[in-house]
Amino acid sequence: MSSLNIIAPFDGWCAPLDEVPDAVFAGRLLGDGLAVDPTSGIVTAPCDGEIVTLPASAHAVSIRSPHGLDVLIHIGIDTVQLGGRGFDPRVKPGARVKAGDELIRFDLNVVGRGAKSLMTPIVVTSDGAVFQNRRGTGLVKAGDLLFAVSIDASRPATPQPLPSDQGVQQRVVITLRQGLHARPAALLARRAKSFGAQISLTAHGRIADARSVVAIMALGVRHGDEVILRAEGDEAAQALASTLAGLEEAQRMELTHAAAAAPEPSPADRELEDGARKDGELSGVCAVPGFAVGRAARIERREIEVAEQGSGAAREREELDRARSNVRLRLERVRNAGGAARQEIISAHLEFLDDPTLNGRAHEHIAQGKSAGYAWRGAIRRSIAALESLDDSRLRERADDLLDVEAHVLLALDGEARPMHLPLPEQAVLLADDLLPSELTALDGRRLVAIALSGGGATSHVAILAAAMEIPMLIGLGAELRKIADGQTLIVDADRGTLYSAPTAEAVAKGRSEVEARLARGAALRQAAAKECHSLDGTRVEIFANLGSVTDAIAAVASGAEGCGLLRTEFLFIDRETAPTEEEQAQAYQSIANTLGGRPLILRMMDVGGDKPLRYLPLPAEANPALGLRGVRTALLHPNLMRTQLRAALRVQPFGVMRLLIPMVTDLSEILAVRRVIDELAAELKLEGHVSLGAMIETPSAALTAAVLIGAVDFLSIGSNDLTQYTLAMDRGHSELARRTDALHPAVLQLIAAAAIAGDAAGKLVAVCGGVAADRTAVPILLGLGIRELSVVPAAIPALKRQIGGLRIEECRELAKRCLHLGSATEVRSLIEQALGDGGEIS
Ligand code: PEP
Ligand code: MG
C-alpha cells in the first residue's frame, strides 16, 4: 500500500462532505473526500499528476496522480450552469502538474452569486481508496494537508473498454443542457457499478468505462451528442436498462435544478445596481432566483394561545385525535389538488401528523394533566430543539415544517382551520421574519411578486414551494428588513442577493423595464419549447409524452410535450393492499390534467394482471402470464374495478381533454363491451358530448384487424413493446433475447403499416406510444408508414422534435417501403443508419 497526500487547493473553511448542499456529493456518489468553502479564488493542484478533465466551463478539474488515483475538485455547486462565466482555466487537459501549481482562477463574487453554494468538494473518484488523517472542520490554508489516501495495490486495474461487436447496446442522444458533467456521470456510474456486466459508453469515437465518473467526463459529451451505451456479460440487458434509467434520472434532476438556476444578469440589472442608493441595499441569500419590483406587504404571525391545564386525560386525548384527523383530511384534500412540490411537502407534514414519537410524547404530557394543545406544542417544540442542535442546516430547516404542523393542529383544536387565502395587495413583495409552507400556500400567488425574509433557509420547504410557484425569494436579510414600511416600493434582485429598500424613481423605472424584458424572454423560451413539430417539408407531427405521475407531467410540459399520449394508470393500482377509490383516482387524474394545462390527456385503462399482479385481486396463478389475464381482459373480468376507474376518468375537467385508451385489445367485442360501460356511466354522470375512445394495437390480431377495430373507436395507439413481444414470440424482459426483441423487425413494421393504412382509410389518427417512437433509427420509418403522432418519455421530446424537423416525408416513405421487405431488424437498422446523417436527418 502506498500513500498519497491531498492538500487544500485554496484557503477556506474545511468541512465534511455532508455539508455540501447537493445529494450527489453529500451522498458520496462521486467518491469520498472533504469540502472547502473558499475564501480565495485560485485553485491549485492538490497533488502531483496529470490533468484528466477540465471542461470548457472550467468549473471542475480532475487530476490523476502517478499512482493512478483520480481526484476531482468541483468548484461550487450548480456552477456548470454558469457556462464558464467567472472561471479562468490556467492549464489544459493532458498537462502534467506539481502539487500547488495553479489550475484555475475564479471570481468569488461572480461564481458566488451564480452558484447554489461555493462549497467545493475535493473527492477521490477512484474505487478502493482508504482515507487517513482526514482534517476536521475549521479554517484551512492552501497547501495544508486535507487527507492522505492509501492505495490498495490489489485493487482491480481500470477495466478495459469492451470490444465493439459484442453485448447489447443502445444509442442515446444526450438532452442534458450541460452534457455529461459530474452529476449525471455519477448517476450513470452508480447504476453501472451495481451490475456484474461490463458497461461502456462510446462518444466521439472514444470508449469509456461507464463505472468511472472521470472516464465518462473525459469523453466531453455535450448537449445533443449521441452516445452508445453497451453492456456485455451477466444480466447485460438489465444492466443496460438500468444505466439508461440513470440517464433519465439525471435529466429529471436537471429539470428540478433548472428551477433554481440563476440566469445571466442583464445589462439593465448591472445598471440598476449602480443606480440604486447604497444605503437602501439589504444583502441576503438567493433562495429562488428572479427579479421583481413591487410594494412591501408584511405578514405577522399570530402566536396561538393554549391553556396549560387539561380537563381530563381521556377527553384531551380524544380532542387531539379529532383535531389531527380534521387536519389530515384537510391536508389530503390540499395535497391532491396541488403540484408535485406541494404534494411532496404536504406528504411530509402528514408523516409528522402521525409520527409515533410526537404522538407518544403528547400523550405523556396529557397523562400528566396537560391540555391537548399544550401537550402537542410541547411535543413539537422538543423535536424542534433536537433538530436545532444538529450541525446539518437542511435538518434544521425541517423545524419550519414541524411548526407548521403544530399550528394546523392547535387551530383545529380551537375549531378553526388555517385560512385558505390571506389578503394581499397587488404586486406584493412579502416581508416576514420567517414563512411557513402553509402560510405561503394560504396566499394568493397571483398577487405575489417576491418574498423577502429576515431569516429562512435556502433548502427549506417554503423555498421549494416558492420555486415551484416561480416567485423570487431572498432570505437572511436580517433585522433591517423589519424597518421597511408597508407599501414601500421595493426592488428585489434575487439573482444578486440584493433587496433595494429605497430605490430612486429612475431605478424603479429601469427595474420595471427589466421585469418586462424578463417576461418577454421567458415567453419566447416557453414558446420555442412548445413549438409545434413539423417535418422539413411541413407535415405536422404531434409529439406527446408517456406519463406515470404528476412529476412526469411537469417534466413533459417543460420539455414541450403537446399532451399525454399514454398515462399508465397502473401506478395507482399496484403495490398496495386495497384498490384505489373513485375519489382518489379522480383527484390523481385531475392533478395530471391540471398540470398539462388543457393539453389532451390520453388515459389508458389499468393494464394490470400478467406481470403486474394486484394483491387485492384474486387472479389465478398462470403458467404463461403474458398470454393470460391482463389488460382489458382483466378489466372485463372485474367490472366493478373497471367501472370505478372509468367513472373517475370521466369526471376529469374540462370535459373533452381526457380520452380513454384500451390496453391489450384482441378483438372487436372487447371494445364494444368497454364502450357500453362508458356510455352507461356518461349517462349516469349526465355528460354531454362524445367520450373519445382509442384501442391499443399491441397484439398481432389487433393489428391485422385494425380496419375493423377502427370503426368502433376514435383513434389507435400502437404499443410497440408488446406488439414486438407477441409478434416475435420473445419475452420483452428476457435478457438473452434483448438484442433480438427489436421493433424494427420487418414483421412488426408490417403490422404497424397495417394499422397505419387502416387509420388512413378511416381518416382517424394512428399514434405510436411504445418505446420505438423514441428510437432515432425508427422515426423515419414510422413517419414513412404514415404515423403522425408519437408519444415518448418527456426527456426524449426536444431531440425528437429536432430530428423530425430535418426529415422529408417523401424520403421517409421510400425508406420505409424498402424496410418492409428486408429479412431482419439488423438489416433494417443498417439500411436506415446508412441513410441518416449526424443530426438524424436523411442525407
Ligand atoms: C407497449 O406495450 O408498447 C406500451 C406502450 O405499453 P406498456 O409498455 O405499458 O406495456
Ligand atoms: Mg403494453
How far is residue 9 from each of residues 42, 82, 137, measured CA to CA in Å?
Answer: 8, 21, 16
Query: What pLDDT does residue 374 have?
Result: 93
Cα of 72 vs centre of ligand 2, distance in Å, is 43
Q: Is 47 known to be catalytic? A: no
Judged against a pLDDT cut of 60, whether residue 727 lies above it is answered with: yes
738, 240 in Cβ contact below 8 A?
Answer: yes
- Catalytic pick from 461, 564, 812, 819? 461
Burial grade of 455 (CB within 10 A; 0-12, 13-18, 19 or more): middle
Q: How far apart are CA 722 and CA 372, in angstroms?
A: 57
33: left (phi over 0), alpha (psi -120 to 50) or beta: left
Cα of 718 vs centre of ligand 1, distance in Å, is 9
The neighbouring-strand residues paired with 498 are: 283, 493
Q: Looking at this protein, which amino acid is placed at residue 831? A: L
Query: What pLDDT does residue 351 have?
Result: 80
Most confident by average pLDDT, 127-136, 256-265, 490-499, 792-801: 490-499
Residue 277 confidence class, pLDDT cut points 50, 70, 90: very low
412, 323 in Cβ contact below 8 A?
Answer: yes
Query: What pLDDT does residue 127 have?
Result: 76
| More confident call, 799 vs 46 | 46
684: left (phi over 0), alpha (psi -120 to 50) or beta: alpha
Q: What is the CA radius of gyration of the chain?
A: 29
How far is residue 362 from each of residues 380, 387, 494, measured CA to CA in Å?
Answer: 8, 18, 41
Per-residue pLDDT, averaged over 790-795, amounts to 86
For residue 771, the ligand closest to its alpha carbon is 1
Judged against a pLDDT cut of 70, whether residue 342 lies above it is answered with: no
Judged against a pLDDT cut of 60, whether residue 464 lies above it is answered with: yes
Helix (H, G, I), strand (E, B) or coil at 474: strand
For residue 770, the ligand closest to its alpha carbon is 1
Query: What pLDDT does residue 419 have?
Result: 56
530-589 confidence digits (pLDDT tens): 789 999 999 999 999 999 878 778 878 888 999 999 999 987 887 677 889 999 999 999
* Sheet of 145-151, strands arranged across: 2-7, 145-151, 129-132
Per-residue pLDDT, averaged over 291-305, amounts to 85
Pairing mode, if any, of strands 658-662 and 693-697?
Answer: parallel
Closest approach atom of ligand 1 to CA 570: 9
Per-residue pLDDT, averaged over 287-316, amounts to 87
Residue 221 confidence class, pLDDT cut points 50, 70, 90: confident
Q: How far apart are CA 500 and CA 392, in angstroms?
A: 31
Residue 267 confidence class, pLDDT cut points 50, 70, 90: very low
Of the candidates 666, 744, 656, the residue with the CA atom closest to the CA atom of residue 698:
666
Query: What pLDDT does residue 799 have?
Result: 80
24, 128 in Cβ contact below 8 A?
Answer: no
Closest approach atom of ligand 1 to CA 771: 3
Query: What pLDDT does residue 273 have?
Result: 40
Per-residue pLDDT, averaged over 21-38, amounts to 83
- Helices within 310-371 (DSSP H only): 313-337, 340-353, 356-367
Q: How far apart are CA 528 and CA 796, in angstroms?
A: 16
Q: Looking at this protein, which amino acid is placed at residue 814? A: E
- Per this entry, what is the length of the chain? 843
487-533 confidence digits (pLDDT tens): 999 999 998 889 999 999 999 999 999 999 988 876 665 565 678 99
Q: How far apart are CA 230 and CA 171, in angstroms?
A: 9
Q: How many CB atoms lie within 10 A of CB 641?
A: 20
Query: What pLDDT does residue 338 have?
Result: 59
DSSP E strands: which ranges in 363-521? 428-432, 448-453, 473-475, 489-493, 498-500
pTM: 0.46
624-653 confidence digits (pLDDT tens): 888 999 999 999 999 999 999 999 999 999
Query: What pLDDT does residue 268 have?
Result: 40
Question: Which of 571, 666, 722 should be mutated for ligand 1, with most atoms under 8 A from CB?
Answer: 722
Q: How far apart are CA 637 and CA 622, in angstroms?
A: 15
Cα of 587 vs centre of ligand 1, distance in Å, is 24
Q: How far apart are CA 338 and CA 344, in angstroms?
A: 10
Question: Which of 604, 665, 698, 728 should be mutated for ligand 1, with most atoms under 8 A from CB?
Answer: 698
Could you please report the per-residue DSSP string of 169-193? EEEEE---TT-S-HHHHHHHHHHHH
Judged against a pLDDT cut of 50, whether residue 246 lies above it is answered with: yes
Question: Which of 696, 742, 789 should be mutated for ligand 1, with most atoms under 8 A from CB?
Answer: 696
Judged against a pLDDT cut of 90, whether residue 370 lies above it is answered with: yes
Per-residue pLDDT, averaged over 350-361, amounts to 85
660-697 confidence digits (pLDDT tens): 999 999 999 999 999 999 999 999 999 999 999 999 99
Cα of 721 vs centre of ligand 1, distance in Å, is 5
Q: How far apart are CA 297 and CA 486, in angstroms?
A: 5
Closest approach atom of ligand 1 to CA 568: 9
654 upstream amide cis, omega within 30 of 0: yes
268, 510 in Cβ contact below 8 A?
Answer: yes
Of the candidates 175, 7, 10, 231, the residue with the CA atom closest to the CA atom of residue 104:
10
Judged against a pLDDT cut of 80, whether residue 308 lies above it is answered with: yes
174, 225 in Cβ contact below 8 A?
Answer: yes
Cα of 722 vs centre of ligand 2, distance in Å, is 5
490, 501 in Cβ contact below 8 A?
Answer: yes
**What's the chain's average pLDDT?**
84
Q: How far apart are CA 438 and CA 11, in angstroms?
A: 41
Helix (H, G, I), strand (E, B) or coil at 461: helix
Residue 213 confidence class, pLDDT cut points 50, 70, 90: low
Per-residue pLDDT, averaged over 799-821, amounts to 93
Q: How far apart are CA 709 and CA 290, in angstroms?
A: 52
Q: Percentage of residues in the chain with pLDDT exceeding 90? A: 43
DSSP E strands: which ranges in 442-599? 448-453, 473-475, 489-493, 498-500, 533-534, 540-547, 564-568
Helix (H, G, I), strand (E, B) or coil at 227: strand
Residue 394 confidence class, pLDDT cut points 50, 70, 90: low
Burial grade of 314 (CB within 10 A; 0-12, 13-18, 19 or more): exposed
| DSSP secondary structure letter of residue 574 | S
C-alpha cell at 277: 442608493
What is the helix, strand, coil percentage profile of the chain, to 5? 40, 20, 35
Q: How far apart are CA 741 and CA 722, in angstroms?
A: 10
Query: What pLDDT does residue 443 have?
Result: 81
180, 41 in Cβ contact below 8 A?
Answer: no
For residue 723, the ligand closest to its alpha carbon is 1
Residue 232 confidence class, pLDDT cut points 50, 70, 90: confident
Query: What pLDDT does residue 609 have?
Result: 78
98-107 confidence digits (pLDDT tens): 999 999 998 8
* Sheet of 498-500, strands arranged across: 281-283, 498-500, 489-493, 291-298, 428-432, 448-453, 473-475, 285-288
Pairing mode, if any, of strands 96-97 and 540-547?
Answer: unpaired
Query: What pLDDT does residue 742 have?
Result: 92
Residues with CB under 6 Å of ligand 1 are 566, 568, 607, 698, 719-722, 769-770
Per-residue pLDDT, averaged over 247-261, amounts to 55
How far is residue 311 from each of residues 239, 273, 358, 371, 712, measured CA to CA in Å?
Answer: 62, 60, 21, 7, 67
How far is residue 538 from each of residues 499, 806, 808, measured CA to CA in Å?
Answer: 49, 10, 8
What's the N-to-C CA distance of the chain in angstroms?
Answer: 56
Query: What pLDDT does residue 263 have?
Result: 40
Of the candidates 183, 151, 177, 175, the residue with the CA atom closest to the CA atom of residue 60:
183
137-194 confidence digits (pLDDT tens): 778 899 999 999 887 655 444 444 444 445 788 888 787 766 777 667 777 777 787 7
* Backbone torsions φ then ψ of 437, nearest 5 degrees: -55, -45
Judged against a pLDDT cut of 70, whether residue 333 lies above it is answered with: yes
Of the candidates 215, 210, 251, the residue with the CA atom closest to the CA atom of residue 232:
210
Q: Is 461 known to be catalytic? A: yes
* Backbone torsions φ then ψ of 688, nearest 5 degrees: -110, 130
Query: What pLDDT does residue 253 have?
Result: 59
178, 80 in Cβ contact below 8 A?
Answer: yes
Which range, of 435-439, 458-462, 529-533, averages the lowest pLDDT? 458-462
Residue 738 confidence class, pLDDT cut points 50, 70, 90: low
The neighbouring-strand residues paired with 607 are: none
Q: Looking at this protein, which amino acid is placed at residue 254? A: E
